[in-house]
Structure 1
Amino acid sequence: MVDLAAFTSMGADGIDAAMLIGAVLLEAAILYVGYGAVEEAFGQRVVERLRGE
Structure 2
Amino acid sequence: MLERFCIAQSGRDEAGHAFIDLANFIHKFKKNEGLTPIQYRTVIRAERPRVEASL
TM-score (norm 2): 0.31
More helix by share: 1
Larger gyration radius, structure 1 or structure 2: 1
